Amino acid sequence: MFGTVVVGVGIAGLARIRDLMNPMPSSPSEHLKLLGFVSRRSFGNINEAKQISLEDALRSKEIHAAFISTENRSHEETIRMFLEAGKHVLVEYPMALSAKAAHELWEMAEQKDKVLHVEHIELLTEEYKQLKKEVAGKDLVKGTLHFTGHVLDENKAGFPAFSGIARLTWLIDLFGDLTVTSATREKQKDKNYSRMTVHFQTTNK
């Protein structure tokens, strides 16, 4: 069995705990054993999973991998700590708030001979797979992708573009590398409203 720990118990972290404790029959998850979870808040136990300290998770020889589900801004530091401790890491997107930091983390994982995997579960859904089939072999002339969400805490989530990075990953996976041609941001503080509009261009313009 492969010992694991979940770091962060928001929506994603709680889903990880649930899935690790109730793996799908005959799936690779059956070979993973959840040995605890780490959180700044005090929970005790969650569904029989016990809370452990970050220090214990890093030191434990029984824990081989960490599932990081914290706020965006802390991803980079947490990844570094677990790689330095000799653990494999799975992190919810985005891996870091800059490309430079992300490349450094990839290099660190390679040097440590550890797996560093950025998870984007939406790319594995049946709806997305169907969308990819529909656009295969077609030329993108023009398109618009619009989505909404709640107002993010920028101190934790990072610059607003990171709230849309999942959709950006969609577009790159569907249409290849993109170049930003313009970006604007509108804020209405009295209404707690913010909108970012970004224009991209594909490699064939």
Kindly indicate whether the domain formed by 134-202 is annotated with CATH number 3.10.20.30: no
Cα separation, 112 vs 50, whole angstroms: 28
Instruction: Give pLDDT tens digits for 137-183.
Output: 888 889 888 877 776 777 776 677 766 777 788 888 999 999 999 99
32 has a pLDDT exceeding 90:
yes
- Domain 2-119 sits in CATH at 3.40.50.720
Cα separation, 72 vs 53, whole angstroms: 20
| Residue percentage of the chain with pLDDT more than 90 | 52
Instruction: Give pLDDT tens digits for 35-72.
Output: 999 999 998 888 889 999 999 999 999 999 999 999 88
Structure tokens, 71:
């706020």
Q: From edge to edge, which strands make up the β-sheet containing 116-119?
A: 32-38, 2-7, 65-68, 88-92, 116-119
| Predicted local confidence at residue 106, as pLDDT | 96
**Domain ranges across the chain:** 2-119, 134-202
| Predicted local confidence at residue 147, as pLDDT | 79
Cα separation, 81 vs 78, whole angstroms: 5
Tell me the C-alpha to C-alpha distance, in Å, between residue 67 and each of 7, 49, 52, 78, 179: 6, 14, 14, 10, 31
Instruction: Give pLDDT tens digits for 82-119.
Output: 999 999 999 988 899 888 999 999 999 999 999 999 98
| Predicted local confidence at residue 163, as pLDDT | 67
